[in-house]
């Protein structure tokens, strides 16, 4: 069935204009004025923005962590994502030492198949490097279309890999055309700070933040950036929270290195004082890296606007306050890390960013969708509105005012970290490959309709400016 989205304001990372958009066989068949097509369903988008569906480059659905499993799985998580305007998620496939990478990927296929309501893909965690892993990585890229690898520099004794592993992963990524992602915090030093705090009887949630200071995020970010330069590889720093890390990314980019960064909604709106809330409520705000002093928010907004940071990920990793977060009631280090952000990522960036004049409409689209599609090998199938692209589309009413609340959200978790925050703008309808998933704010999708996406390899820029000896900075961005 053909569909025409009529009279909406089409917004891409570069353009804003009123036009009609024709969808045929799940792809965008035409964009223009006064489009007519026989037997097409007409969808009136007057007064609304027509955005490409959001791409969330950072989710943890159905993930075991800290002795429990995230509250949202691929069904509830992708449904909430769709309500929020996101049509693609890239989830982290965890690996364990001693097991094949393929077995980990198969586990993640099992978790997601028949459940996802929107399209999805995987990043693959690399926890160790040996001959078996080195053999397997190129096969995973080729067979699974997984072109990004994650190395944790923190979470000692669980996820953390050593610098040698990061170095060899960067070398492999350079050779094979993949993007290396890092959780950049110095896990060895954090381990000592946590031990010392607990020995001194400091067990409240605030000590989670105080034992993971920004210096340790800046240091790890800089270390990863240096190793990227040494290997002439490419790096994406996930969940950047603070000035110390932003400055390291900026320094690397000034040198022409292909170093990119992501921040998350929580670091733009919340701050360290949230961890001090009474009655253990601070546990709702436990992320790693932690929320920072408020002034860092301006640094992050500036970095998004000037391009030092390119994307926003939800880092969706939801745990119920009752029954999960309270595992750490007597010991902050036992609070499962992470929070529910998959649903509000899109609208919060619009409201706090565009509506408050911090970023432009086109920059919003770039941050919410286009930059991730380029970096993670999905462009132009995803992340833009162009003829031939998948019809992943959000019809967005920019005038609605609403208050975020766990009472009305769609995530499978008993609190919302943005409870009570008033925002402007809301997705009205959301389409995935031309089919409604959300129609007039109602869910009409189907679990299992989401397709697994094989992604293209990281594209290393070949352009050299003749007038300068420096390489073109920023690679694909």
| Site residues, ligand URP (CB under 6 A) | 60, 183, 239, 287-288, 315, 317, 337-338
Q: Between residues 20 and 315, which has the closer beta carbon with respect to ligand URP?
A: 315
What residues numbered 138-197 form the site for Zn ion, per CB under 5 A?
183
What residues numbered 26-45 form the site for Zn ion, per CB under 5 A?
none
What residues numbered 275-304 form the site for Zn ion, per CB under 5 A?
none
The structure tokens listed for 440 are 């007039």
User: Could you tell me the smallest distance in angstroms from the CB atom of residue 319 to Zn ion?
Assistant: 13
User: Could you tell me the smallest distance in angstroms from the CB atom of residue 427 to Zn ion?
Assistant: 24
Q: Between residues 340 and 475, which has the closer beta carbon with respect to ligand URP?
A: 340
Long-range contacts for 28-32 (Cβ within 8 Å, ≥24 apart)? 28/385, 28/386, 28/387, 28/388, 28/389, 28/390, 28/391, 29/2, 29/387, 30/387, 31/385, 31/386, 31/387
153, 187, 290, 330 from 194: Cα distances, Å:
16, 10, 13, 14
Category of 338 on φ-ψ map: left (φ > 0), alpha (ψ -120 to 50) or beta: left
User: Could you tell me the smallest distance in angstroms from the CB atom of residue 70 to ligand URP?
Assistant: 9
User: Could you tell me the smallest distance in angstroms from the CB atom of residue 264 to Zn ion?
Assistant: 9
Q: Between residues 21 and 235, which has the closer beta carbon with respect to ligand URP?
A: 235
Q: Between residues 244 and 315, which has the closer beta carbon with respect to Zn ion?
A: 315
DSSP per-residue letters across 110-152: HHHTTT-SSEEEEEEE-----HHHHHHHHHHHHHH---EEEEE
112 binds, options ligand URP, Zn ion, none, Cβ within 5 to 8 A by partner type: none
Place of tokens 């919410």: 368
- Helices 131-144, 163-176: crossing angle, 10 deg rounding: 40
CA distance 285 to 274: 6
Q: Between residues 10 and 264, which has the closer beta carbon with respect to Zn ion?
A: 264
Q: Between residues 21 and 90, which has the closer beta carbon with respect to Zn ion?
A: 90
User: Could you tell me the smallest distance in angstroms from the CB atom of residue 317 to ligand URP?
Assistant: 4
Contact between 315 and Zn ion by CB under 5 A: the answer reads yes
User: Could you tell me the smallest distance in angstroms from the CB atom of residue 304 to Zn ion?
Assistant: 18
Q: Between residues 48 and 151, which has the closer beta carbon with respect to ligand URP?
A: 151
Q: Between residues 263 and 432, which has the closer beta carbon with respect to ligand URP?
A: 263
User: Could you tell me the smallest distance in angstroms from the CB atom of residue 150 to ligand URP?
Assistant: 9
CB 135, CB 143: distance < 8 Å: no
Category of 148 on φ-ψ map: left (φ > 0), alpha (ψ -120 to 50) or beta: beta
Query: Count residues contacting Zn ion (CB under 5 A)?
Result: 2
User: Could you tell me the smallest distance in angstroms from the CB atom of residue 58 to ligand URP?
Assistant: 7
CA distance 348 to 344: 6
258 binds, options Zn ion, ligand URP, none, Cβ within 5 to 8 A by partner type: none
Residues, the chain: 477
Cis? peptide before 289, omega within 30° of 0: yes
Residue with smallest beta-carbon separation from Zn ion: 183
The structure tokens listed for 304 are 């998004």
Q: Between residues 165 and 429, which has the closer beta carbon with respect to Zn ion?
A: 165
DSSP letter at 300 equals: H
CA distance 304 to 155: 27
CB 384, CB 394: distance < 8 Å: no
User: Could you tell me the smallest distance in angstroms from the CB atom of residue 472 to ligand URP?
Assistant: 30
Which residues form the interface with Zn ion (CB under 5 A)? 183, 315
């Amino acid at each position: 069935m053909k569909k025409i989205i009529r009279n909406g304001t089409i917004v891409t990372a570069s353009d804003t204009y009123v036009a009609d958009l024709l969808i045929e066989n799940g792809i965008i068949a035409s964009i223009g004025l006064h489009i007519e097509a026989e037997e097409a369903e007409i969808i009136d988008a007057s007064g609304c923005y027509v955005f490409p569906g959001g791409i969330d480059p950072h989710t943890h659905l159905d993930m075991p962590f800290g002795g429990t499993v995230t509250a949202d799985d691929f069904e509830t998580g992708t449904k909430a994502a769709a309500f929020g305007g996101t049509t693609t998620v890239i989830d982290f496939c965890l690996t364990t030492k001693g097991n094949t990478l393929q077995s980990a990927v198969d586990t993640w296929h099992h978790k997601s198949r028949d459940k996802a309501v929107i399209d999805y893909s995987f990043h693959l965690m690399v926890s160790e490097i040996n001959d078996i892993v080195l053999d397997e990585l190129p096969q995973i890229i080729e067979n699974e279309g997984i072109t990004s690898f994650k190395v944790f520099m923190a979470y000692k004794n669980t996820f953390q890999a050593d610098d040698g592993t990061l170095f060899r992963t960067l070398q492999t990524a350079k050779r094979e055309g993949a993007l290396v992602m890092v959780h950049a915090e110095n896990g060895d030093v954090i381990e000592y700070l946590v031990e010392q705090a607990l020995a001194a009887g400091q067990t409240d949630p605030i000590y989670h933040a105080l034992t993971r200071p920004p210096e340790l995020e800046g240091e790890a970010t800089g270390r990863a950036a240096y190793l990227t330069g040494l290997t002439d590889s490419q790096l994406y720093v996930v969940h950047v929270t603070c000035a110390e890390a932003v400055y390291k990314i900026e320094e690397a980019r000034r040198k022409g290195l292909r170093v990119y960064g992501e921040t998350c909604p929580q670091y733009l709106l919340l701050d360290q004082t949230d961890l001090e809330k009474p009655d253990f409520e601070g546990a709702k705000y436990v992320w790693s890296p932690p929320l920072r002093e408020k002034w860092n928010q301006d640094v992050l907004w500036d970095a998004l606007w000037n391009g030092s940071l390119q994307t926003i990920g939800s880092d969706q990793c939801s745990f119920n306050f009752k029954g999960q977060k309270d595992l750490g009631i007597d010991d902050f280090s036992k609070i499962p890390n992470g929070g529910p952000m998959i649903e509000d990522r899109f609208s919060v960036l619009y409201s706090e960013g565009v509506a408050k004049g911090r970023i432009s409409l086109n920059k919003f689209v770039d941050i919410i969708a286009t930059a991730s599609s380029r970096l993670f090998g999905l462009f132009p199938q995803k992340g833009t509105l162009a003829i031939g692209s998948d019809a992943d589309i959000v019809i967005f009413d920019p005038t609605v005012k609403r208050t975020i609340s766990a009472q009305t959200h769609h995530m499978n978790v008993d609190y919302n970290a943005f409870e009570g925050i008033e925002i402007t703008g809301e997705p009205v309808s959301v389409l995935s490959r031309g089919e409604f998933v959300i129609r007039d704010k109602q869910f009409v999708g189907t679990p299992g309709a989401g397709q697994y996406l094989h992604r293209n390899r990281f594209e290393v820029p070949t352009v050299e400016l003749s007038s300068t000896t420096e390489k073109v900075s920023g690679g694909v961005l």
